[in-house]
Structure 1
Amino acid sequence: MTKLFATTALVATLALPAYAAQPAEGETLSDNQSLSFWILDAFKSLDPQLTSSRTDSDMIRQLFEGLMNEDATGAMIPGVAESYEMSDDGMTYTFKLRDSNWSNGDPVTANDFVYAWRRAVDPATASEYAWFMELMNIVSASEIVKGEAAPDTLGVTAVDDHTLEVKLTKPTPYFLKTLSHATTYPTPQKVIEAEGDAWTQPGKMVSNGAYKLESHDLGVEGVAVRNENYWNNDETIIDTVRFVTVNDQNIGLTRYLAGEIDWMNTLPAGRFPQLLEEYPDEAVSAPWSCSYAYLFNLSDKGPEALKDLRVRQALAYGIDRDIIVDRVLQGGQRPAYYWTHWATEGYEAPEIEMSEWTQAERIEKAKALLEEAGYGPDNPLSLSIQYNTSEDHRKLAIAVQQFWKAIGVNATLNNYEWKVHIDRLNNQDFEVARYAWCADYNEASSFLDYFRTGGYNQGKWSNAEYDQLLADAATAENPNDLYKQAEAILIQDMALAPTYHYAMAQMIKPDIRGVPLENVMSSWYAKDMYRVAE
């Protein structure tokens, strides 16, 4: 076994804890150490093994802690694990866990991770992220997810209370990057077995993160307060974290400007330039590892028209991405002609032919393709576009509706609340749907694996060559060329219509310190933040 630390940042962390809020010399802390964070949609689940939502994960990251955390730049640093060893063949990891406790005072042990990880892959749990454990290449994960093996055959073992051993099916260069993801967080077995689905309710939830759940009024507000049993509580400064649900971004901005919200990380489309001018100390835009697209339903339940590549190409060509980013969004976003976010570490984008054309050329080619496919004035193509409740999503859907009208496609708009939207996607009850993917770790495979056959892949596109490239990339010394080839196939077959790459145009109160703007994953921890006296 070779003893390793995750990164040089981790070595530094062990010598001088950098995983806590550290006021700069001369800064005076405010008496107010609360943080109110805006969210668009109500929490779907605060269970680490049941969540599939970015919003949920932001709260879960405050309540629970996994083996690893991320620092302000996105580098992996210690969480519950103080160090690890990797075998010479790269297929066995042994983690040494620090002394830490659950919020009820019980010790966090290696068995808590074993329980949580088995729970994630167990078909009885019905985790939407079971595939993520497969992606980690843990021994028997795929067989368990398929129902072909028992959960207790998963390649994770508690050697003792402070030692966790993980066995992989093959060397996985990105494995450590997966360990800050909510699905991998420990969960308290005895609490879940005693309370069942109700275990995530205030007063019943037991967590191991820097905060514990104090209250949750669904669709209104969730409140987390300092966990006095957290191992590094003495270094935590923010006392209370409020997640305030406001379904309308314009109302959310109004409440921010009124002082009711401290941090709004997704501004209404088109507002950023004005806000930057009026509030230069509060408005900021930073790359965020998410991509927005219109997903095509290629399953048996999807419309026959979308089975025709020419139709999918025409729809992708018809979207004017420059209008979307320059006139509608105006927050630092970039046009997307491929799926993986451009700022992903090590990513090399393929050459995408349509990105070199003018929009007039794209429209001309789109009309020709539709005509070849048998559509025209006498036989117009009709499709529905599904999106979840949000003024921005509505604006974009209307824009796409108009873009497609210009090439002879009649699109109707269907709006659903977030939970219904996702349920319909999961059941392939849609034709074209607004979708966005935020990376689960900072590598191209986190985007590309979505479209793997058997992956999350709600549109059910499938390509054997694509799958093989991703399989080969998992053990390649330099996988980036294989990712580039896979991305090219994805766009050649137009499994989706990429639309834009995210930037996080946001408003942050000027007395807040520690927001990780250099972390393209936008993973944040309130324990690393603080407020200064004005």
Structure 2
Amino acid sequence: MPDTNKLSRRRFLKATGGAATAAALAGCTGGNGEEETTTESGGQEETTTEQQTEAEDSGNELSGSVFQRILSGTVTTLDPVAATDTSSGIIIQQVFDCLMSYPDGLPTVENELAADYEASEDFTTYTFQLEDATYHDGSAVKAADFAYAWERLAASENSRRAYFILDSIGIEHETDSDGNYVPGSLGVEAASDTELVVNLKEPFHDTLEMLAYTSFAAYPEGIVGDIEGYDGEMEYTEFASKNPIGAGPFEFAFWEKGTAAAVSKNEDYYGDVAQVDNVRWQVIEDDTARYNYAMNENADYFGLPTAQYDPGKVQVDNVDEFGREVGKYGPVRNGKTVNYVGVPTLSIFYVGFNMKKVPKPVRQAFAYVLNQDQMVEEVFKGRGSPAYIFTPPTIYPGGAQAAESKVEADYPYGVAETDIQAAREVMEEAGYGPDNKFEVQWTQYNSGTWEEMAKILRDQLASAHVDMKIEKADFSTLLERGRNGQLEAYTLGWIADWPAADNFLQLLNPPQTNTDQTGPISYVNWTADNGDSYQKATDAYQQVVNNPAPTDEAQAVRDEAYVEIEESNWDDVAMLTIYNRKDETFWYDSVNIEPFGGMGPSRQKLNNVTLNR
């Protein structure tokens, strides 16, 4: 039987290129991807007062100690298979448990609801023994619950992550003549109440890492009836918004959409019972309002908007083996010096283009004028590193040095420079000019810092015959419009679901970008009609799919394909990369909390947090 800790450590080092450069993120994200943004936007101090009053008047009172936090984005659902945004995932992480987990957000998987496991020699069959655990309703966690929950992930109309289980990890299943999943055919068996057998079509290099994602969480069999064979013990909307039942260290307390959410400790948790009675999140999308809320000490743990951030106030006392910078920051506006952690995360923040609506010359013009280095230093105040490839450098084939060499040798639009002349030329070759400008709509989340970057691009592009209009939208609206194919140029980020290049490059697999289909993973609509490298990218990603094994031979094939996908994106500019973020979080001395790891704060469970007040 594999040694879980050794296997995790080996994979971690392979993924990151060394302990000192540990990094990772979690799924689709807006301005920052986590609870608090690293960006700045306009706003009035009164916003905080209004939101505080609304929450206080809601009637949702919590008894006992409360760990106060902030969410910068709207929670959309509490259903693990439906959630794609980070704010929802943060709550789900506390309420639901999976077979595996990333302790404190470190990219080293460990057992969670899995007490033990065995893998077959060919890595196609995994047998899990379950912990003696109960759900929040008092019922026992059983292997059949996983079979049911994963069937929902594969077959429910509410699932947004079916490709995780059917394609990415590739659990055995049948398809019909149109290639659609045949309900009930999933290769997951409850051999007994405590033994779960999982059969893969072929070995997958990050099986355990995938099973730590909250889409694979357990909940009672038959709780909702959105798949064949189940009528449901409750209505779907009740489960997804009012009564989510999991086996996590916290039970759901309340959720007021757009205002606040809270969880309360699970006294019967099979692991470490929470030290705090409650965790409460205030939802504040405006950066200035979030800053005021934290400075008034209404939040114990928070981020600082870039407008109020001063890199000169960071004092790093220690950099640990995982690359986490730990120290102090201050004084802040209220005179306090707060605790600080900065973690380089496996993240990518980018501009995506709906290629059906934005022609290639326009996309290339964007690439020529964008100076990533300038944006990171002048706009984002050095809170990250400039990105010229979509894969975070530490998990690029060959590591960060190989990524840097590739960019220096082959990036076609200029590294650390703005080339307005080249942008103008590519537009004029396409027939555009002073009297025939191309109009493009830029849509971003509510962030003044990203708007500052947008204005720089807008002014530069004006000299290259591109008329760029800027609009802002809340995160959930932006995602909805993206799924419906209504965006033109848009800003988003990606946080690692598992620490491997294919987790990022799946966003550049052309067939998965079609907004005419259900659940596109990105919104660029990359086809042969709008991209010269469409077929190259499609074929390369198929090579990744065809060589999923955890072997050196398969890894070599995947690595070659990863590079081809990056080159294809450079050629067609489906997505224009901006930067890889360093997550920075701050907290008052009243809180004792382990620094989060490279998977980011959204992956950190909070049952070991203590309060000193």
Deviation for aligned residue 1:294: 0.9
- Cα distance change on mapping 1:146 and 1:294 into 2, 3 Å: farther
Cross-structure match for 1:135: 168
Match of 1:508 among 580, 587, 596: 587
Cross-structure match for 1:102: 135
Deviation for aligned residue 1:533: 3.6
Aligned counterparts, 1:267-282, within 5 A: 267-269=305-307, 271-273=309-311, 276=314, 278-279=330-331, 281-282=338-339
Aligned counterparts, 1:452-471, within 5 A: 452-455=509-512, 456-461=521-526, 462=534, 463-471=537-545
Cross-structure match for 2:373: 322
Distance 1:342 1:393 in 2: 23
Cross-structure match for 1:247: 285
The runs of 5 or more residues in structure 2 that have no matched partner are 10-63, 225-231, 315-328, 332-336, 513-520, 527-533
Match status 1:449 vs 2:543: no
* TM-score normalised to structure 1 length: 0.87
Distance 1:145 1:327 in 2: 54
Aligned counterparts, 1:27-426, within 5 A: 34-72=66-104, 73-122=106-155, 124-133=156-165, 134-140=167-173, 143=175, 148-192=180-224, 193-200=232-239, 204-234=243-273, 236-265=274-303, 267-269=305-307, 271-273=309-311, 276=314, 278-279=330-331, 281-298=338-355, 302-303=356-357, 306-308=358-360, 310-344=361-395, 347=399, 348-349=402-403, 350-351=406-407, 352-354=410-412, 357-360=415-418, 362-426=419-483
Show CA shifts across 1:196-254 (max 9, x none): 223336763322100011111111110101012221244x3232111110111121111
- State the SS of the aligned residue for 2:391: coil
- Cα distance change on mapping 1:507 and 1:267 into 2, 3 Å: farther
Cross-structure match for 1:519: 598
User: What is the percentage of aligned positions where both structures have the same residue?
Assistant: 22
* TM-score normalised to structure 2 length: 0.76
Match status 1:433 vs 2:490: yes
Distance 2:373 2:308 in 1: 13
Distance 2:313 2:460 in 1: 28
RMSD: 2.6
Distance 2:177 2:125 in 1: 21
Distance 2:153 2:466 in 1: 42
Deviation for aligned residue 1:275: 5.2
Show CA shifts across 1:485-522 (max 9, x none): 32222223221111111111322223433343432444
Show CA shifts across 1:118-169 (max 9, x none): 11111x423222122221111127x389763422101111111111111111
Deviation for aligned residue 1:378: 2.3
- 2:342 and 2:583 in contact (8 A); partners too: yes
- 1:93 and 1:165 in contact (8 A); partners too: yes
Question: Structure 1: which amino acid aligns with 2:604?
Answer: Y
- State the SS of the aligned residue for 1:502: strand
Question: Structure 2: which amino acid aligns with 1:267?
Answer: P
The runs of 5 or more residues in structure 1 that have no matched partner are 12-31
- Cα distance change on mapping 1:248 and 1:39 into 2, 3 Å: same
- State the SS of the aligned residue for 2:482: helix
Deviation for aligned residue 1:340: 1.6
- State the SS of the aligned residue for 1:189: coil
Show CA shifts across 1:277-314 (max 9, x none): 6246434432122211111112xxx32xx343x33222
- Cα distance change on mapping 1:416 and 1:357 into 2, 3 Å: closer
Deviation for aligned residue 1:44: 0.6
- 1:270 and 1:328 in contact (8 A); partners too: no
Indicate the larger mover: 509-518 or 91-100.
Answer: 509-518
Distance 2:426 2:110 in 1: 50
Deviation for aligned residue 1:75: 0.5
- 1:292 and 1:437 in contact (8 A); partners too: yes
- 2:81 and 2:158 in contact (8 A); partners too: no
- Cα distance change on mapping 1:404 and 1:103 into 2, 3 Å: same
Question: Structure 2: which amino acid aligns with 1:458?
Answer: Y
